[in-house]
Structure 1
Amino acid sequence: MTPLTGLQRLEAPSPLPPGGALLAACGEMMVINLPERRDRRAEFERQLRTIGLSLGHPQVRLCAAIRPPDAGDFPSIGAHGCFMSHLSVLRQARDDGKARIMICEDDLNFSRSLSRRASLLATELSEQPWDIFYGFTNGGVRGTQLRPGGQLVRLAPDQRFECSHIMAFSGRAIARLVPYLEAMLARRGGDPDGGPMHVDGAYAWFRHAHPQLTAIAAHPDMGYQRASLTNVSHPGAKDRTPGVRSVAALARKVKNLVTAR
């Protein structure tokens, strides 16, 4: 039998659907969603179907987001809730002894090219050890490509991203991350050792404090943030006014269609 060339290997079909290959590489997918945000849940279900998954898949878990009563020392109630929601998922993963998990926020859209790229990306993720994986950096990634022509870049500990829409963590990272975030939560805002902040900033602080952990990112991005009614800040006037609210929602849908990547 004639051996496959490198190009043929890259093009060889995977026995798993694109999303299944990513689950095999990154672990169970935890989808953070406020129970009352049925709109976001439905949109994310549509996104999952583009990579051969659904919210009914046994390795896709819907995780109820936390809405705290106030902002506390966080920038907003939403930022507080997002931080607590990520921490809750990470605590559960630690307690369950998960080797890896992938966290997705419900306003994530997958890129149109991901269904074609996912199997190769999953292969790259499976070929090397890593602790923290960013699937979306909004094009801000820089670093050393792990394989010529590949889709992964190694990140320096001081690289910061304001993105936490799709991330994956190893069990080794989770074991250190949970107490680190809990310590942040116990401090006052503005503490020089790191106090309450947006969770993407907290992840950046954690990586800087733990340079021994291997952090990598997808390049190009696996997805991007979808335009939707915010959970992080107070809704604007257009989302509080009856009649105007539905027009604003339609405008967001049109924007998402026009700006799809």
Structure 2
Amino acid sequence: MDVVDYFDRARIINIASRTDRRSETLDEFARNGFHLDNDKVGFFEAVTPSEANGFPSLGVRGCFLSHLGIIEEAIRLNVDNLLILEDDIQFSKRISQYGKDAIASLANMDWDIVFFGHPFEGNAGSPAWKVVDQPIHLAHFYAVNGTFLVSLRDFLYQILERPPGHPDGGPMHYDAALNTLIHSNDQVRAYYFTWNLGYQRPSRTDLHQLSLLDRVHVLRPVMTLLRRFKAHKLRQLR
């Protein structure tokens, strides 16, 4: 069993207009032998709000609501565990080897949230699960235990109901919300796998202001080609 198939349900967040990201994610899954069946494993159409409502941008709010929507869907379906990915996922070239080790260990652990992808350097000597003891500023490849889904959903709604700048945390980036929950509640059992199993693929952002080169229509195809070349090179290295 691979790291995707292990979970009761897996969802990949994708904005309908980003057919480029969807296509590249399909290639990424196929390249690593992961199957999408649009039932157990499939895409989730991202929320695209018309107002930021206190969030740093429309895209940040849409990302937050999309993760929340997947969690709510999983609660309705009463899933045992849930894997969430974003559509710029690029798997580590070692995911076949270490992914099996990760899920074999996970099956014998008590956990609430686990991160397969993170910004930390991999530990090839002793890949293992480690308690989250520092902020993880990414949420592109993580899982939630079914027993923790309701608690996570309720916390996210608290974030939505607070005003910006609230001392307990108001509207914020989704990964910041996860960090706030983990580091404000020592009862949350959160871990990350020390060998990073998934990175963010070079891709045009939907969360922040675009660079000048991305804003110029005639240059956008050039940027796309450059990012694909960079992704190809990174795929060989990590």
TM-score of Structure 1 vs Structure 2, range by shorter chain = over 0.9
- From 3, 23, 28, the counterpart of 2:5: 23
The separation in 1 between residues aligned to 2:46 and 2:191, in whole angstroms, is 26
Q: 1:212 aligns with which of 184, 187, 191?
A: 187
Give distance in 2, aligned partners of 1:32 and 1:23.
Answer: 17
- Equivalences for residues 63-212 of structure 1 within 5 A: 63-139=44-120, 149-156=126-133, 159-212=134-187
Which stretch shifts more, 68-77 or 187-196? Answer: 68-77
2:111 and 2:85 mapped to 1: Cα distance?
18
Question: 1:237 — aligned with what?
Answer: 212
Please state whether the residue corresponding to 2:232 is helix, strand or coil.
Answer: helix
1:28 and 1:235 map into 2 onto residues whose CA distance is 33
TM-score normalised per structure 1: 0.84
RMSD: 1.9
**Offset, 1:138:** 1.1
Q: Which runs of 5+ in 1 are unaligned?
A: 1-15, 143-147
What's the offset of the Cα at 1:42? Answer: 0.8
CA deviation map 1:210-251 (0-9, x unaligned): 321211111111111111111101322222223211111111
Gaps of 5+ in 2: none
User: Could you tell me how far apart the structure 1 residues matched to 2:226 and 2:145 are?
Assistant: 39
Which of 49, 52, 58 is the equivalent residue of 2:33?
52
User: How many residue pairs get matched?
Assistant: 235
Confirm or deny: 8 A CA contact 1:111 1:223 kept in the other structure. Answer: yes
- SS state of the match for residue 51, structure 2? coil
Identity value in percent: 30
Letter of the 2:161 partner, please give it.
A
Q: Which has the larger radius of gyration?
A: 1
3-state SS of 1:259 partner: helix
